[in-house]
Amino acid sequence: MRKAFLVLLLFLTAAVFQVTAEETLEGIDAVRSYALEHNLTYRTAVWEALKARNNIEGIFTLDKSSLSLSGNWNDIAANPLPELEAGVSLPILEQVAFNASLDSDLKGRLGIVLTPLAHSSSDEQAELAYQKALALADETALSVENDTLAALLRWSATERKTSVQEKVTALREQLYQDDKTRYAAGEATLDEVRSSLKAWSEARVQLTTLQNQLQQTVTNLYALLHTEPAEVSVTQVETEELLSSLQVLLEETVSSSGNPSSTWQVTSTKIEARKLQLELQDIWLFDPDLKVNAGLDIDLHTPGISSVGGSVTLSVGLQDFRSEEKEELTRDIGLAEEQIALAVAESNLAYKQAMGSLENANLARQIVELELEETRELADESAFLYDRGEISAAELEEARLLLLQADNDYFSALADQFIALLELRRYMD
């Protein structure tokens, strides 16, 4: 069963029960589930798929049965009561239908109508429409999940960077104030004071930039969740959780094989081409209408069959010669096949680009891991030197902040790798 219907009950419930108190989303899985349950675009896509499934009728057409009741007055003065007649029509197949009628005099008719030349691919067309709607729901789910998790990780990474930059800015201010004091005591030069002031100013600029970026990432995340911070609180993703989720995603990707032709773009173009082929099959060069009627007249006052009758009708018109329509559809099919080839080529290119992005993310992670290890060693060395009184507390704090920045770079590298894998899933079986 496709993902679109695995979560159907969840967001049908969400459509009825609204969030009335603040809800907290902790972790990647919680955010993913919330997004799929509440995202309006995805919910609409699944609803359209359900409607498309309901349009599939099958070979039997009993759902088109009808019941009629009529009354006629031939001479109201002589007989004020109407002559009543009830009828029922039961279309069994596209080519076969039964009907029956009975009037107030208990006289009636049982009949069958045959249309042997009737032909239509409406049911197959409905099945294709359902497949396309279902594929669109799956594509929408994938896009919602990818976009939301990417927004979550970018927000978490920016939140971490902003927090560290606040500490860096405070340290730069402290160093500037220390240099001013030292300058007043004749222990520092004016150039040193200017240098520390410039460093503090640059740190404040970086902090302002990160704060603006943070606000934008919050806006993007809650827009994808279709909610507001006052209603739903999202917790920051930690490195351990990201590593765990990344490992699961890696295992899923390794166990799958790349298939760029399975994307929504290729699938939809193939379905449209198939629909045109079915339309072409429906069009005959000569398409007359042949109808055969047979019936039994009965009278419930008199046992047995009163009479048996029938008729054959053949209708032919100029519109029944449809060679021009077949030629137009043949050209349309040719264009649709070209569209399929184009979609496959674009999907193959996008798949290669996704693979390239993942390779770059893998390489970036390896480099950042080496940098993190080196920065950790430098931080340990700084702590040792501080204990020996060879460096100041400010220098020790700077080393610790460098380690935090390296750790944030590592988190960002993991996030980029995770996002690259999410995108690659689009081209996997």
pLDDT tens, position by position, 225-240: 988 998 999 999 999 9
Q: How far apart are CA 91 and CA 89, in angstroms?
A: 6
Burial of 421 (0-12, 13-18, 19+ CB in 10 A): buried
pLDDT tens-digit readout, 248-265: 998 888 777 778 888 999
Of 150, 333, 341, 337, the closest CA to residue 260 belongs to: 341
Q: Is the same domain home to 245 and 297? A: no
Q: What is the average pLDDT score of the chain?
A: 85
Could you report the per-residue pLDDT of 79-102, keeping only the tens digit for each?
A: 666 677 777 887 877 777 888 877
Top pLDDT among 23 and 201 is at 201
Report residue 214's pLDDT band, with 50, 70 and 90 as the boundaries.
very high
349 and 403 assigned to the same domain = yes
Same structural domain, 306 and 372:
no
Q: Is 151 part of any domain? A: no
For residues 337 and 311, state if they share a domain: no
- Side by side, the strands of the sheet bearing 289-299 are 66-72, 83-91, 96-103, 107-114, 289-299, 302-315
Q: Which residues have CB under 8 Å from 319's CB, separation 6+? A: none
State whether 103 and 243 are in the same domain. no
pLDDT of residue 83: 74
The token pair that represents 225 in the structure block: 């969740």
Does the pLDDT at position 54 exceed 60? Answer: yes
What is the reported pLDDT for 418?
A: 96
Does 85 share its domain with 108?
yes
Domains in the chain: how many in total? 2
Cβ-Cβ contacts under 8 Å for 32 (sequence gap 6 or more) = 145, 148, 149
251 and 107 fall within a common domain = no
Question: Is the pLDDT higher at 156 or at 284?
Answer: 156
Claim to verify: residue 243 and residue 392 sit in the same structural domain:
yes
In a domain, 226, yes or no: no
Residue 146 lies in a domain: no
Render pLDDT for 163-191 as a digit per residue (tens, 0 to 9): 999 999 999 999 999 999 999 998 889 99
**Is residue 375 over pLDDT 80?**
yes
Note whether residue 385 is domain-resident: yes
| Least reliable range by pLDDT among 64-68, 109-113, 385-389 | 64-68
Q: How far is C-alpha 93 from the geometric centre of its chain's CA atoms?
A: 37
| Claim to verify: residue 313 and residue 332 sit in the same structural domain | no
* Across 149-156, average pLDDT: 96
Res. 5: pLDDT tops 60: no
**Same domain (yes/no): 303, 425:** no
The answer on 354 and 333 residing in a single domain is yes
Residue 412 within a domain: yes
The answer to the question of residue 332 being in a domain is: yes
Residue 44 forms part of a structural domain: no
State which residues form the domain around 80: 62-120+285-320
| Residue at 224 is within a domain | no
Return the structure tokens found at 5.
């219907």
Rounded mean pLDDT, 330-343: 92
Identify the residue with better confidence: 380 or 325.
380
Same domain, 114 and 244: no
